[in-house]
Structure 1
């Protein structure tokens, strides 16, 4: 009778255990499937956004070539006007029909807002496309081509604005899918915990009770007690081994999570820097060139005679405004991605940054760097430059300082960047909130994140009315 009960209990516990493991396995596989599916979707979203961004670039390039062709101005652009126009049209058709050819893959999507945006874009695109075709038609007269060019230039800003809305909508929907994945992942984690909790109640607790009864029976004899002690020793050894395995697994999981966070943050920062480089190129090569051409045309127009001195003054104001706009565009392009950083290295870039910041803010900024160029990777140079930018911005906005000293030093295996000011300072403990994480309003979190991504260390020394010193050390 006792043997039947033991078999029945053992069978019941085994079934419970198998079912629990099956549920945990299914939840794990389901989570992996959803994560993989979402990653593939986000990858496709990135491709679609790239094509949409290329559409904006192509429209601007075609408009520039149209201006040059209509004005019969010589240019060195190696791209064929017909080829660019064909690629522009085909990409627009693929985006509008929601079937985008990317290599050997066909990317599709479903979105009511995007369909409505592409519907608004269609007539604008057709108008520009027809105008570009007329400009490219050698059989039309110059006046007809100029009329077509006016239509193209009137509709291009509308086209660019709608394409911007489309790109932002793609990004918004991609972010929404990512948030949905996070919610599903939370649900799966909670379900897994509940299953494990039920497993503890329905399996491990009965096993413990059965073991307790067996031990109590074995204590009736000395031999049984010795045998039970040996069993307990073996159980303890196994339990210790299991505990060590659990601790090791938890540590690996924690390290994996840290690595994933660093990869995600690194990808975001790299994406930001790439977008800055792209914007800088577009400002310099696109708008900057167009403004320069506008200035040249204005200067030629200034050679004509004006009947009224007021007209001459207004014209001079217009030329000055164009020059200020060109200078502002160049400054914005430089701030996005300074060319001196790639041309002459981090030391020259920091020196120029100090001069520009000093001129703009009125602070006395002293830079002590290395005269020769330091052989560093592009990632380290950009990271150090952005850290210095953020630190100087904090000094200008919050420190109330008069003097700032910046020092760049190279040791045997490290690069040290130190920013010191004589401002009002602060208490270090005020930088932390209740959870102990650094606040972001003063840019400290941005500096800390970039330092960690470069495998470096950051130290802040400050006291009220005694200034602040920030030291970043990057190991190379």
Structure 2
């Protein structure tokens, strides 16, 4: 909308809200008046009933007093004292302006009713005192007769004044109802006037403005159709261009995916070749150590042991000879350990389970860390490449747990079945965050070793999962499909 439309809309909105507010106020006011008047009318009706009952109670008390003094029996079983108490209590409450019954009723009195209660008060007090003396057990018969005479003398005046009070209560209640009717007429007329003003100042301008808007919309509809036609042609061209772009994008995505797959395959072949070359080089070097240097060291040890029976001229020469023999033995053990780490013979002879168990025992002896092995009893051998790959993963994970995790307990679990093979290496070390980058003064993780483990698992068509949290330890899991040789 332009500025003029906004001004018109704002003005009409203000008028409309004002008119609705006035109507709502008038309606709510009328409802409140009606509700209040009904409540007051209910109170007035109860007051009139109680005031009328006062006449009946006075006549009933007079009759009972007369019958009691005359000695005439009566079928009225009501308690004289209770009737007298109710009559007196109701009179005092009416006079004070508050009736206490099932709830408290307000007695609305005019000045005229107050004057009428002032006029009737001496007659009431005289009758109430005389009736109380008649009810008293200590009063003599002559006193009761005198009291009855007083009651009979005052009763006509009391009844006359009480009738006037009842009629005055009823008259004032009717006048309040008439006042409510006048107020309702005023509110109704005000509501009708508000509706008329609303029709003239709001609805009529709204209708005129709506007609102008519809006319303008009709005039612009044809121009809009022409523009829509042009836009349809442009949209068709744009859709064709978008389709071509989408096809080009799909071709680009397919080319990129193909390039990525080729790169992954090339990396896999390269990694497989490198790892196979590494393993072959380890086998060759292990054989050289075992068959070459190992045999020569063993021969050297045998030659040295033969010299033990030769006497030495000095004790220090014997001591140096013993130290030399111990060094030769340590070199032999180191050579055997290095040869075993390069290519453990137990892996080729007895399989992966025995190799992992031997690795756990050997690590426990060399590092002093508790390494527990749990494996299945399946005697089916795996493919040699699979056994070597899983062994290297376990070896790398175990090495990381000892060097970086500072673990005190490591568990190696291996389970093999016809459907899958699972390898688990779990430690209770300090762990690490897989998301947070390394910070200063913080030991660098063996990321190269982790990548080697992932590469080996991928080459075995398996899945490697690493889960770790700071101070929660690390868990390395490898799962392979059926790998039975």
TM class, shorter-length:
0.3 to 0.5
TM-score, normalised by the number of residues in structure 2: 0.47
Greater Rg, structure 1 or structure 2?
2
